[in-house]
Structure 1
């Protein structure tokens, strides 16, 4: 499914502070246990969808099932919206039923054991239910169709809005659908068309059959005055695969034009993920604006985006890819929706790579990664682990876009051959079944021979991001070679645990453009790696190939002309004043707290969110200025860059600099400030004759106005500055208080603190700390604390 909240037609930004960190305990999530005792093997669904005036659905569904355990005397089925009229057993006898939370419970009138097979048939009618945002059964004057999931309802599965079922991700069944329509209408359903019967009253009953076992949310029906466009693809074994597109007659040509690369997508996904295991490819146009839905072999696709252009072809590819990720292999619970939607979002990148080349793939990954670092935790209200996203955020950007970003990182860990061959085998071994993140990890580890424990612990089971940088280089000559010890430093963004064995490409260079590259690994807060290099490097950098999506976005550029260079990926403008020969410029935008100011009593409050590093191969003829944009805004294209630092006016902002990490931060000697309106929280700081080193935005003299930082009335800190202890009093209910240092590291956390909480600060280092209160994962107060 591709929907609006995952940057489809729009992106809703929620201006709240994200939770500090959360980690999945790596135990299975609760699931619908009905499937442990009963296997529903087949549904015969009969629908009458002729009432386009009062929009009443009439139906009866036969549910054929087999007990998995003995002594089954009842079955509970889900149904939402229509009213149950009667229930019958396999012999037509009436059965009693009672309401249940999401449907009804049927007394079977006997006891059934393993080896038995029986059925119940439910007759029902009524108006249908829709999620106001997305999902349900839609019935209007021109269309009747279902969308199998709800964005807002929990549980999300919405098969139950049009037939009684076990509505979960686990139970897989075959289906026959018999859909009675007006003679001017046709029915597009999943599966293989079996034929149409003309009824005495001139209505028509269309029969479709789904042979492959699928969950209830993936079966589909759509009724309108459809016409079908039929064609076929050739699969990798030279077998024909039927293709059926359903649309109003006036929409068929634009649809075909928008889908000119559908066969390319099919070929790309087969080559990358293995054979297409379904009876046909199918799309049906429906009047939705909030997204598309990956119903098996009958994808519900918004008619508004089948407009004849290729603007939305990534949506087309996304939905097709679900026939590998989501339909063929399905997440066991919503908490692991990344297996479905993160994978399909990643397949958009794979589609672009197959269609336009590696550079196009890298560009899309790079752009999405930058936006994730800036906004994902704000969009979704927290730094959630990929496995364990709360169901209120199942269909958010963590699942979709961060899911894709982490799968890109998995590819970086494994390399292309192991990655794609491993995923092919994973799909082969788990086809038509469900899985969770733990099984995914263990199966792929066994298939590839690569132990993925660290990868899943660091990228799937933990929220936030790691940030890795080169702290310093130590160089010792060893014969004609030079032993270079690379001292690595790891920081935490929205998480509490350091990562282990992150593979990163190390690049070392000297002023003569000599280059050495190898792969090294970052583990823990600090570690060192020694490599042998045939020259004396003057600087180094990590992740040039961007195979690993950590909390850095960087620009590498060779400059040969004067003028302004928009280094948008690094959030900086470079104004080249003079260049006499080619120079290499590296600008890293680090989405992590910079090292704190050592002389904290100087009153410089450094940004807790980001800093820059500038380096490269420069000569005496190179001179440039640099423009650093700041923004404390919480909406718009520059939102959430500095909102934790800039909470008031801008006139105290300064630009800090240090040439390397062996010295403290100082104010850069030559720069200008462009505040504009000092209350709009946006502007620029412009460094004149920029130098190599690190740069950060800060507030000067903040300690003289400490009370202004703590003027928020929801909580009080005292004494502040603290010397040994601090008390936090709040007049709002907080379910936890989180204290983090200037680098964003967790110092202490208190659950259910009540109206007053005391903290002993005697062992804390002198400096500044953030005290944040949360209620249901949203910030209710945020205070600045000084510890003396």
Structure 2
């Protein structure tokens, strides 16, 4: 399922306070996958208990579905079941606020009670283990939507097409499963059943459901279409969509042979569907490569007039018609929903507390589609951009540093589940290596197909497949919140022979919101020569500090930790090759450089923004106070003669949308007048107040400091009353402090509005995540419109400059 951010923010406004604690089961690293499935449930869920009493074998749903005027359904559902215990005298089914006419078994009336939520049916005689029975529930009424606006049943005459459709979860519902709004069922994540749908409508409309169309009969003014789903699915994945649909038929070669692709939409939407799904076959091939064979009989997308996301109903994805024809949505919607046929539809989280298995892995699959179609560079860009946003704002938005497993009901569809779940999946790939990671996923899909799963069972299956012990990973990254932080403390080189050098590397670990230091984290150390070639060595890091000796073929000019960002720790970084004198916005590094001399040759520079406090002063006679929230590493190989200014931005404002907000709430608690920049060359040196800089106070608590000469080493902010070494302190006009940028996110255009006319010579530049300038224009008006319809989807930085001085900057998301 994919949802709009605005909906998520609404739903998580009321947060559960405090962190979750629970006992973590310990199992052997080589425990067999079959035994792993015998673990008790990780989280108690009363809704799952009925599935210990009865096995629901099949639902046969026979309904006449009305239109946007009547908004009614009427018919019956046959529930076929088998007891798991002897002497069962009744069964309880979920059914929400519909009118029950009768309940029968073999045409005999059964006694029942119904309170608008639970239907209790009394058997005429006790049911035992050897029995297989069917009851038929006759009902009618107006099916419910969810209080949040997301989920349930919808009627809509959009475009005169008389849509009637369901979305199988309700964000505000408890439980979230929402099969009960249109048929009586066991509405939980663990009960899986087969389905038959016999859906009747007027002849102008056609019904689409899960599985295979087995008949389409017109009888007078009515059309009845029968769909059969022989793969067992949970109730929330059961689907019906009725409208004046037309069908686009494609076929794709899969690992198990050719399979049909069914795209259903209104006649006016079919061209847009063809254009918007042009890369669907490529996506299918990619996911089969990563996750193994597609287990279902067909691929299906059904357009609905719902603008806040999509729903992964098995083989019949409900897809927002507003998004068709736009490739900007192909990763976030098309690929995300398709991937659920592995993550969510094939294997399903046992309880909503483990929703990251469904939604985190589907979000990660967006990145995997990007890599498959557009390459590893674009994959890394997407992962790193999301990771930076999570480090910056996630704990502020969702009430603390939470584990992705054990998430509270109010945050089931929040960013810990979707985005951090994906971030953790990326890190698990970095832990295991590509071959072991994807082979373990394929093994898990095979061993656990059409079954529910929890985090510990996922751990054990992946351990069994790979032979790797993943207990520490799941304890640290899945069952606990926050992040670790790793840094190089020192590197020494000792020559031991021809082309043989021992590199002695000391590492240290801090935490960002995590309850404890992490153990056995595989970290890559890259050793660069002056020609930028490198060798990579891997070490296992535990504890606050550790020293490793690795053999390399030369004394390196530069050593970098986690250069390829395979482990998502509490850092965000940009790496660039600088070939010309130019201005660069380091979006992930959160600085701005003005290269005035590129030097004799090109330079390789990496800037790391660290979301932890820097090391303390070794000696601090002037009683300076360092930031407890961030510091920077500037590292790399600089060409002789290279010179650049570097600008650091501070912001003590508490705004969830600001580029630098919340990062300096300690130092700029009242105002930013005393904020200064401190520097040290390495961990062995002490922090020194930076001389030759310009301090610009943009607002009461925000501004920036321009350092005249960028050096390799570490920088941080601190409070100091020493102004003797400051070149100048400037307070910029309200022209940029009060600027408004809207709408944000933007689809086709946005506006930047200044309270006063910017000074002559002011230029607006827009840069992408790589720092590339995609637009530059002179600003001569207070209200400025910018067209972004041709921009690639992603995050951009909008900047107003006057003679090299940055007056305003803000991020914008282009959708």
TM-score range, shorter chain: 0.7 to 0.9
Is 1:593 matched with 2:613?
Answer: yes
CA pair 19-594 structure 1, distance change in 2 beyond 3 A = farther
CA pair 290-513 structure 1, distance change in 2 beyond 3 A = closer
How large is the RMSD of aligned CA atoms in angstroms?
A: 2.3
Written as runs of structure 1 = structure 2, the 5 A alignment for 1:393-404 is 393-404=411-422
Between the aligned partners of 2:170 and 2:16, the Cα distance in structure 1 is 24
What residue in structure 1 maps to residue 39 of structure 2?
Answer: none
Written as runs of structure 1 = structure 2, the 5 A alignment for 1:80-479 is 80-89=96-105, 91-99=106-114, 102-131=117-146, 132-141=148-157, 142-200=162-220, 202-237=221-256, 239-306=257-324, 308-314=325-331, 315-479=333-497
How far off its partner does 1:477 sit? 4.5
Deviations 1:62-96 (A, max 9, x none): 1110011112111111111312232222x222222
Between the aligned partners of 2:122 and 2:539, the Cα distance in structure 1 is 63
Between the aligned partners of 1:216 and 1:10, the Cα distance in structure 2 is 23
> Is residue 329–residue 432 contact of structure 1 (8 Å, CA) maintained in 2?
yes
> Is residue 22–residue 383 contact of structure 1 (8 Å, CA) maintained in 2?
no
Between the aligned partners of 1:302 and 1:434, the Cα distance in structure 2 is 28
SS at match of 1:485: strand
Between the aligned partners of 1:242 and 1:343, the Cα distance in structure 2 is 25
Is 1:26 matched with 2:42?
Answer: no
CA pair 71-348 structure 1, distance change in 2 beyond 3 A = same
CA pair 592-375 structure 1, distance change in 2 beyond 3 A = same
Deviations 1:508-555 (A, max 9, x none): 346675744211121111111112344444542201111111111222
What residue in structure 2 maps to residue 611 of structure 1?
Answer: 631
Deviations 1:262-313 (A, max 9, x none): 111111111221111111111110011111000011100000001x231211
Deviations 1:25-79 (A, max 9, x none): 3351113111111100000111111253231222311111001111211111111
Between the aligned partners of 1:693 and 1:523, the Cα distance in structure 2 is 25
What residue in structure 2 maps to residue 664 of structure 1?
Answer: 686
What residue in structure 2 maps to residue 745 of structure 1?
Answer: none
How far off its partner does 1:193 sit? 0.7
Deviations 1:116-166 (A, max 9, x none): 111221122222211233100112342110000112222111111111100
> Is residue 14–residue 381 contact of structure 1 (8 Å, CA) maintained in 2?
no
How far off its partner does 1:192 sit? 0.8
SS at match of 1:375: helix
Is 1:577 matched with 2:590?
Answer: no
Deviations 1:82-114 (A, max 9, x none): 12232222x222222224684222212221111
> Is residue 599–residue 641 contact of structure 2 (8 Å, CA) maintained in 1?
yes
SS at match of 2:588: helix
> Is residue 15–residue 378 contact of structure 1 (8 Å, CA) maintained in 2?
no
Between the aligned partners of 1:436 and 1:222, the Cα distance in structure 2 is 31
> Is residue 379–residue 396 contact of structure 1 (8 Å, CA) maintained in 2?
no
> Is residue 349–residue 358 contact of structure 2 (8 Å, CA) maintained in 1?
yes
> Is residue 232–residue 241 contact of structure 1 (8 Å, CA) maintained in 2?
yes
Deviations 1:613-654 (A, max 9, x none): 112223551222111112233132414333454332221211
Written as runs of structure 1 = structure 2, the 5 A alignment for 1:48-87 is 48-87=64-103
Between the aligned partners of 1:122 and 1:67, the Cα distance in structure 2 is 18
Between the aligned partners of 2:460 and 2:437, the Cα distance in structure 1 is 14
CA pair 53-12 structure 1, distance change in 2 beyond 3 A = closer
What residue in structure 2 maps to residue 548 of structure 1?
Answer: 567
Between the aligned partners of 2:580 and 2:531, the Cα distance in structure 1 is 20
SS at match of 2:437: helix
Between the aligned partners of 1:127 and 1:386, the Cα distance in structure 2 is 36
SS at match of 1:150: coil
> Is residue 281–residue 297 contact of structure 1 (8 Å, CA) maintained in 2?
yes
Between the aligned partners of 1:10 and 1:684, the Cα distance in structure 2 is 33
SS at match of 1:524: coil
Is 1:4 matched with 2:23?
Answer: no
Deviations 1:401-440 (A, max 9, x none): 1111111111111211111122111101111111100000
Between the aligned partners of 1:17 and 1:618, the Cα distance in structure 2 is 48
Between the aligned partners of 2:535 and 2:284, the Cα distance in structure 1 is 40
> Is residue 667–residue 675 contact of structure 2 (8 Å, CA) maintained in 1?
no
What residue in structure 2 maps to residue 635 of structure 1?
Answer: 656
> Is residue 15–residue 398 contact of structure 2 (8 Å, CA) maintained in 1?
no
SS at match of 2:180: helix
Between the aligned partners of 1:653 and 1:603, the Cα distance in structure 2 is 14
Alignment TM-score, normalising by the size of structure 2:
0.81
Between the aligned partners of 1:614 and 1:18, the Cα distance in structure 2 is 39
Between the aligned partners of 2:278 and 2:598, the Cα distance in structure 1 is 47
> Is residue 482–residue 533 contact of structure 1 (8 Å, CA) maintained in 2?
yes
Between the aligned partners of 1:282 and 1:3, the Cα distance in structure 2 is 19
In terms of mean alpha carbon deviation, does 352-361 or 297-306 score higher? 352-361
Where structure 2 has 5 or more consecutive residues not aligned to the other structure, the ranges are 26-41, 723-815
> Is residue 25–residue 461 contact of structure 1 (8 Å, CA) maintained in 2?
no
> Is residue 18–residue 378 contact of structure 1 (8 Å, CA) maintained in 2?
no
In terms of mean alpha carbon deviation, does 641-650 or 389-398 score higher? 641-650
Q: Which has the higher contact order (CA 8 A, sep 6+)?
A: 1
> Is residue 560–residue 581 contact of structure 1 (8 Å, CA) maintained in 2?
no
> Is residue 21–residue 496 contact of structure 1 (8 Å, CA) maintained in 2?
no
SS at match of 1:404: helix
SS at match of 2:431: helix
SS at match of 2:372: helix
Between the aligned partners of 1:205 and 1:62, the Cα distance in structure 2 is 17
CA pair 17-48 structure 1, distance change in 2 beyond 3 A = closer
SS at match of 2:459: helix
Between the aligned partners of 1:235 and 1:539, the Cα distance in structure 2 is 46
Written as runs of structure 1 = structure 2, the 5 A alignment for 1:746-785 is none
Alignment TM-score, normalising by the size of structure 1:
0.84
> Is residue 77–residue 137 contact of structure 2 (8 Å, CA) maintained in 1?
yes
> Is residue 49–residue 179 contact of structure 1 (8 Å, CA) maintained in 2?
yes
Where structure 1 has 5 or more consecutive residues not aligned to the other structure, the ranges are 703-788
Deviations 1:4-28 (A, max 9, x none): 12x8x99779899997865553351
What residue in structure 2 maps to residue 708 of structure 1?
Answer: none
